Amino acid sequence: KNQVEQSPQSLIILEGKNCTLQCNYTVSPFSNLRWYKQDTGRGPVSLTIMTFSENTKSNGRYTATLDADTKQSSLHITASQLSDSASYICVADSNYQLIWGAGTKLIIKP
């Protein structure tokens, strides 16, 4: 069964600190792995997309990693800001069928 699991479910950190969000996926066939940021009451915004051959991709303070062998991905946020408070969703693409994770709710406190 295709599925995506994310951890932790929620996370609270202080402004300026770093954090890492985890994603384990089981999809076949595998096309790519995506990370989205979703602010409350808004649509998701793409952060990164990684194919099988890519093991790291950065977008500003966001760095995603992908281990296709262990089927794990992580999203690292550096020097967090208050505006980083949002849900971060990991999505596995299986031939254009998107398998959505439940997301990690991140709260940045001043």
Partner 1 sequence: GAVVSQHPSWVICKSGTSVKIECRSLDFQATTMFWYRQFPKQSLMLMATSNEGSKATYEQGVEKDKFLINHASLTLSTLTVTSAHPEDSSFYICSARVYFGDRGSEKLFFGSGTQLSVL
Listing DSSP states for 26-58 in one string gives E-SS--EEEEEEE-TTS--EEEEEEETT--EEE
60 binds partner 1 (CB under 8 A): no
101 binds partner 1 (CB under 8 A): yes
Which of 1, 14, 43, 53 is close enough to bind partner 1 by CB under 8 A?
43
44 binds partner 1 (CB under 8 A): yes
Residue pair 110/82 in contact by the 8 Å Cβ criterion: yes
Q: Is 82 helix (H, G, I), strand (E, B) or coil?
A: helix
12 binds partner 1 (CB under 8 A): no
Residue pair 91/103 in contact by the 8 Å Cβ criterion: no
Which of 46, 56, 58, 81 is close enough to bind partner 1 by CB under 8 A?
46
Q: Given the rule CB under 8 A, which residues bind partner 1?
A: 41-46, 49, 89, 96, 98, 100-103, 105
